[in-house]
Chains A and B, each alone.
Chain A
Amino acid sequence: MAASSTRTLPARMPDGWWREHPRYRTYVLFAATGFVLIGVNLLLLAGVAALSTSVAAWQGYLEVLGSLPGLVGVAALLIGTLFFALRWLRVGAKIPAVRLGPLPAASMGLILVVHYAGFVTLTLLIVVLLSGLVI
Chain B
Amino acid sequence: MLETRLVKFEIFRFRPEQDEGESWQTYEVPCPEDWVVLDALNYIKDEIDPTLSHRWSCRMGVCGSCGMMVNGTPDLTCKAFVRELAEPIRVAPLANFPVVRDLVVELDSFMTKLKSVKPWIIRKVEKDVEHGEYLQSPDDLENFKQFSMCINCCLCYAACPVLAHEPDFIGPAAIALGFRYNQDSRDEGEAERYDVLTGPDGVWHCSYANECSEVCPKHVDPAAAINRSKLVTALQWVKILPKRGA
Contact = CB atoms under 8 A, between A and B. Distances in A.
A12 B100 CA distance: 13
Interface residues of A, number: 32
Interface in A51-101: 91-92, 94-101
Contacts of B183: 98-99
B85 interface: no
A95 B224 contact: yes
Contacts of B21: 9
B208 interface: yes
Given A20-B72, A24-B211, A100 B16 contact: no
B18 to A, nearest CB: 11
B95 A98 contact: no
Contacts of B16: 6-8
B148 to A, nearest CB: 15
Contact of B214 (A10, A23, A97, A101): A23
Contact of B72 (A15, A27, A99, A105): A15
A101 B191 CA distance: 14
Contacts of A101: 241-242
A132 interface: no
B235 to A, nearest CB: 7
B231 to A, nearest CB: 6
Contacts of A99: 143, 183
Given A4-B108, A31-B207, A105-B143, A9 B22 contact: yes
A11 B72 contact: no
B108 A1 contact: yes
Interface in A95-114: 95-101, 104-105
B208 to A, nearest CB: 6
B231 A96 contact: yes
Contacts, number: 95
Q: Is the interface of A mostly helix, strand, loop or mixed?
A: loop
Contact of A104 (B99, B139, B207): B139
Interface string B203-246: 00001111100100000010110011011100100000110000
B207 A100 contact: no
B76 interface: no
A10 B207 CA distance: 24
Interface string A12-35: 111111001101100100010000
Contact of A13 (B95, B139, B207, B242): B95
B92 interface: yes
A103 to B, nearest CB: 9
B98 A11 contact: yes
17 contacts: A1-B112, A8-B99, A11-B167, A14-B69, A14-B72, A14-B73, A14-B95, A14-B159, A17-B95, A23-B210, A23-B211, A24-B209, A94-B221, A94-B223, A94-B224, A100-B241, A101-B242
* Complex A-B, nearest 5 residue pairs according to Cβ-Cβ distance, in ascending order: A8-B98, A9-B99, A98-B228, A13-B164, A14-B95
Given A6-B100, A20-B72, 20 more contacts: A4-B108, A11-B96, A13-B95, A13-B96, A13-B161, A14-B69, A17-B72, A24-B161, A27-B211, A91-B210, A94-B227, A95-B228, A95-B231, A98-B183, A98-B231, A99-B183, A100-B231, A100-B241, A104-B139, A105-B143
